[in-house]
Amino acid sequence: MAAKYIMTKDLIFERVKQVIENQLLIEENVITENTILLKSPEGDSLDVDSLDLVELILTFEEAFKIDISDDDASNLLSVQDIVDYIALALQKKEEESGKRKKLPGELAQELKLVDPIIDD
């Protein structure tokens, strides 16, 4: 019986949420996919200032072992934007590494974003 690992957007969201909660000292279960990072008249925002946003971006880069350009960072307005960006960046990283058949399991394990599925 072999174990396979799948990195899903749900797992990425949980890790992103954890980073934001730890970095900004926010209570659990406040952050959703629709949460806006910067101050927003729409209500569901964290009112993150520019320094906090830079620190979050750096933490995401470290946590997921990806690079986020300044141009890309300026487009990451909501938690869902971040999750989508990270999922795409990880997919590109997998494809570029030439390990497509071994991944996402290997990368998921490295990033501690694993959801084991057991084959019978």
Which residues are part of the catalytic machinery? 49
Peptide bond connecting 41 to the previous residue in cis, omega within 30 degrees of 0 = no
Region for 68 from its dihedrals, namely left if φ exceeds 0, alpha if ψ lies in -120 to 50, beta otherwise: beta
CA 113 – CA 64 distance, rounded (Å): 9
